[in-house]
A and B are shown apart, each in its own frame.
Chain A
Amino acid sequence: MQDLRWKLIVIAVVTAVFGFLAFTQPMNLGLDLRGGIRLELRVDVDEAVAATVQDDVEGLGRRLADEGIGAPATAYSGNGATMTSASDADATRLAAMIAEFYPNSYTARRSGDTVTMSMLAVAEDGERDGAIRQALQIIRNRVDQYGVTEPTIQRLGLTGERIVVQLPGVENPERIKSLLSNTALLELRLVEAGPVPTRQALLDTQGGELAPGYEILEADPQEGRLVGFYLVSGVPLITGRDLKTAGLGQDDLGLPSVSFTLNTEGSRKFSAATGANVGRQMAIVLDDKVRTAPVINEQISTPQAMISGQFNVQEAQDLALVLRSGALPASIEYLSQQYVGPSLGQESIDQGVMAALLGLAIVAAFMVVYYKGAGFNALVALALNIIIVAGVMNALGAALTLPGIAGLILLIGMAVDANVLIFERIREELDIGKTVRSAVDAGFNKAFSAIIDANVTTLVAAVFLFQFGTGPVKGFAVTLSIGIMASMFTAIFVSRALFDVWILRRSQSLSI
């Protein structure tokens, strides 16, 4: 009795909470039903090619240095570079190296002390294609993490460098645009000198010329506490690839900052680098701008670091998001921004919604005809199911598409299964002559293992799909999980409480 009262209170609370979530805010509708925003953007693939050339030239420089050969003076030209060595012999060695280490990427021509390397067309196409594919992947990650569901992200043109992104009903297009186009290249570099107010002043301290293997970077002008130029090591100690995760943190003044954790490989490198460079400064560089340059006080083996600065909470969150999702291979430029209408006609939408509701109504009617009184019990469970699922979907901000609605209705239609299992079992128990009370008890008890195992098996599958899937697959896994849990709750808990109420009022008969 006491027990039952508590159960009814729980049910009332659940109904109220999810009902509130489901009905007080408008449903988030997908591109097909409501339309949204369409962004066309261009990935600067030439930049990606140039970056690769630069990486490879620097790699060659290191190999040359290993052999005691000075780095050549290099002039870059998009997909190639012209390198002038100190002597003909050095140049010959350089040309041989290019042939040896990059046979499938570059052709090298030597004339005197000058080597001209240029990327092979096939390799260049590969680079361009790779850059677009990587950009697609990262944009998808960011959209997913931002929480926009059911986006469409596609490449435009067969060999195109354009990407079209469509997002359902975005309220703040500027924020998502800056999220998507933020390169977010994170590097940790050792500081050799700095900060010095101007680039020239810094060069002067180095004898007027930049030594090979070093770079000059400017402090982020947005970052008020840091000004001037730094001379930093050319090769970063750590890059964004070594990141495990990033999140919102607080600096020692309690202001919002971005904290990040390194993965195993990253922490190993970090620990070794900090150990070997105690007393020196390390610059945390984001998109080639120095964000902070703390002094390394001791070897750091806890793999955590922080970017502080003048962020508000939202900016810090957004930066953490783009760091988590990885750096873009090249910068992105927006070509157009457009609001788009729904991709489905009103006719199709009406048809689909009508069919789904019709199916639901017939199932409801069927349950009542087949199970009489107990059928109403199932109806209550069904209704509560819909409320819970709609409430959770709404709270998660999941966008509903027409196929999504059809899927949900189907899930709910399937959810009567748990009720059917219980009712059939109660009938079996009544058939062998049990009293109403013990038949209901036995029915629930015996059906319990079947309901749990059947649902948990599917739930396990859904969890794995969520963990390893992306985009639409993840969305499906979430919907599936919510549906399963709601149906288990309504069948086992709600349905049971309703039977108890029934038995309490007239324990002699059961309409089933």
Chain B
Amino acid sequence: MRILKNPNIDFLGKRWLALGLSLTLIAVGAVTLVVSGGPRLGIDFAGGSEVVVRFATPPDLNTLRNVLGGAGLEGATIQEFLSSPFATEANEVVIRATGLDDSTDVDTVVSNVNSALTGLLGTGGTGLDLNTAARGDLMTMFTQANPMGFNLTVDPETAAAVYQAQAGLVFEAKSEVGLFTDWAGLEAAGLDASVLQVLKDQSHFGAYAIVASGFVGAQVGQDLRNQTVQAIVWALIGMLAYITYRFEFKYGVAAVVAIAHDVLIVLGAFALAGREFNLPVVAAFMTIVGYSLNDTVVVFDRVRENNMTLRRVSLVERFNASLNQTLSRTLLTSVTTLIVVSGLFVFGGPVINDFAFALLIGVIVGTYSSVFVASPIVYAWLQRDAAKRH
């Protein structure tokens, strides 16, 4: 089976068209990037919020994921805190999220988690839920019930101070047990008997409590990011040196330009699609670079060979011949790669969707760039040299 039989396409004749297309794509991407204020960074790069929740009974994680997703925490990860490496269920989970509208505001995430969980588990009783109540809620309840019989009009300060202290004891007891499931913890908390009675009358224990919450820093901080950029620059220099050694400097430069071209376009596509940048996406970019490079060098190899065997033929024809001779392999490889990537993109689920998206665009652009960017650059450079010589 063959797709192509001796193709004879004038690739170089379309180089100005290609240049226009490339510049347009890059420009569109660049404008989008500038307008949207740079690529959208995910939790790996920007950090996010972490909320530790304790449940009365072990929750079903799938349900929890769905519910949180519905409450504006789509990308959230949920991990169980297991009592041993072999435990299969746990009462405590840690939720990590970038939050609504990319805000890493911990309070927003906490209130989203709260609304999702209340929706899922219900309030679990009447009156105040001691597991989710805030200090203010307790104060209001104590003051209204006024079990210790202060004269609130004459001396509100004393009442406030005492009830404040009582509320403090409740929270101390809560941080002791994490989640109230019975009255034992509160009965041992040293509360005034009348206050305890108010609690028993007017409040109950909900099915979960937020044990801790806070900002969690980027997994790839500034330091690591700088190191990575440095490593990439070195990798590019190494590549340039190797291509210069095996071919010529011109070929090396052309390959690097093609890589920059691909990365810029994929970056632009990412911004346009509003997708999030996380660690796997960086791996995808590096893979794209490797792919594009591979493709480019194969074409260059053919040019090098034809420079020996087709000396009498003009430069344009020589380049076109090389591109046509390698065309079927170029297409085949990109088809097989695209098959894999499309599989990941369509069926791979949300986790690798961004990764697959980057690759999908990257493979197409990388294939295009070895034919329409790298080769024309070398051709133009060689032709300019030839013109100078005459």
Interface residues of A (CB under 8 A from B): 32, 35, 37-38, 133, 136-137, 140, 152-158, 160, 164, 169, 338-348, 351-352, 354-356, 358-360, 362-363, 366-367, 369-372, 401-403, 406-407, 409-411, 413-414, 416-417, 420-421, 424, 427-428, 446, 449-450, 453-458, 460-465, 467-473, 476, 480
Q: Which residue of B lies closest to A450 (CB)?
A: B301
List of B residues within 8 angstroms of A339 by Cβ: 81-85, 87
A450 near B215 with CB under 8 A, answer: no
Q: Which of A344, A420, A446 contacts B77 (CB 8 A)?
A: A344
Check A460–B1 contact: CB distance below 8 A.
no
A420-B332, A464-B238 as given contacts; A355 in contact with B221, CB under 8 Å: no
Contact B347 A354 (CB under 8 A): yes
Q: Given A156-B215, A420-B333, decide whether A461 and B236 contact each other with a Cβ distance below 8 A.
A: yes
A471 to B231, CA, bound (A): 12
Q: Which of B10-18, B190-198, B338-346 contacts A (4 or more CB under 8 A)?
A: B338-346
Q: Does B30 contact A (CB under 8 A)?
A: no
In the assembled complex, the CB of B251 is this many whole angstroms from the nearest CB of chain A, namely 10
**Docked CA distance A217–B342 (Å):** 65
C-alpha spacing A226/B130, complex, angstroms: 59
B217 within 8 A of A: yes
Q: Residue on B with the closest CB to A427?
A: B2
CB <8 Å contact, B283 and A155: no
Does B219 contact A468, Cβ atoms closer than 8 Å? no
B216 touches A363 (CB 8 A): no
A156 and B217 contact, CB distance less than 8 A: yes
Known: A413-B336, A413-B337, A424-B332. A155 touches B78 (CB 8 A): no
Q: Is B381 among interface residues, defined by CB-CB distance under 8 A? A: no
CA distance A421 to B330 in the complex (A): 9
Task: Point out the residue from B79, B283, B291 that lies within 8 Å of A340, measured CB to CB.
Answer: B79
Q: How far is the CA of A341 from the CA of B83 in the complex (A)?
A: 10
Main secondary structure of the interface of B (DSSP, over half): helix
Query: B293–A458 contact, CB under 8 A?
Result: yes
Enumerate chain A residues within 8 angstroms of B287, measured Cβ to Cβ: 407, 410-411, 480
Q: How many A-B residue contacts, CB cutoff 8 Å?
A: 262
B335 to chain A, nearest CB (A): 7
Asked whether any CB of chain A lies closer than 8 Å to the CB of B167, the reply is no
| Chain A residues positioned under 8 Å from B346 (CB to CB) | 355
A140 to chain B, nearest CB (A): 8
* A428 cross-chain contacts in B, Cβ below 8 A: 325
Alpha-carbon gap, A314 to B304, bound state (A): 54
- Is A369 in contact with B1, judged by CB distance below 8 angstroms? yes
Q: Among B85, B243, B335, B349, which residue has its beta carbon within 8 angstroms of that of A348?
A: B349
Q: Which residues of B contact A (CB under 8 A)?
A: 1-2, 47, 50, 61-62, 65, 77-85, 87, 90, 94, 96, 214-221, 223-224, 227-228, 230-232, 234-239, 241-243, 246-247, 255, 279-280, 282-284, 286-287, 289-291, 293-295, 297-298, 300-302, 304-305, 325, 328-329, 332-333, 335-337, 339-344, 346-352, 355-356, 359
> Which one, A407, A416, A446, A454, contacts B283 given CB within 8 A?
A407
- For B304, list chain A residues within 8 Å (CB): 449
Give the CA-CA distance A437 to B216 in the complex, in Å: 63
Which of A35, A154, A372, A480 sits near B219, CB closer than 8 Å? A154
Question: Given known contacts A164-B216, A464-B231, is B297 in contact with A454 (CB within 8 Å)?
Answer: yes
Q: Are B230 and A468 in contact (CB under 8 A)?
A: yes
Can you pick out 23 interface pairs between chain A and chain B where the beta carbons lie within 8 Å of each other?
Answer: A154-B217, A156-B216, A164-B216, A352-B352, A355-B343, A359-B342, A363-B340, A366-B336, A370-B332, A403-B280, A403-B352, A411-B287, A413-B336, A413-B337, A417-B333, A446-B305, A453-B246, A454-B298, A458-B294, A460-B239, A465-B235, A468-B227, A471-B224
Q: Which residues of the partner chain A approach B234 to less than 8 Å between Cβ atoms? A: 464-465, 467-468
Given contacts A156-B50, A464-B231, contact A403 B355 (CB under 8 A): yes
With A160-B214, A424-B329 in contact, is A461–B289 under 8 Å at CB? yes
Q: Is the CB of A410 within 8 A of B337?
A: yes
Measured CB to CB, the closest approach of chain B to A437, in angstroms, equals 22
Complex-state Cα separation, A411 to B341, whole angstroms: 11
Please give, as numbers and ranges, the residues of chain A lying within 8 Å of B284 by CB-CB distance. Answer: 407
**Closest A-B pairs by Cβ, 4 of them:** A155-B217, A359-B343, A351-B349, A403-B280
Q: For the complex, what is the distance from the CA of A148 to the CA of B287, rounded to whole Å?
A: 23
CB of A410 within 8 A of CB of B1, answer no
- Contact for B238 among A352, A414, A463, A470, CB less than 8 A: A463
When A420-B332, A465-B231 are in contact, do A456 and B349 touch as well, CB less than 8 Å?
no
Smallest CB-CB separation from B43: which chain A residue? Answer: A154
A449 lies within 8 A of B47 (CB): no
Give chain B nearest CB distance to A446 CB in angstroms: 7
For A421, the chain B residues whose CB sits under 8 A away are 298, 329
The chain A residue sitting closest to B243, CB to CB, is A457
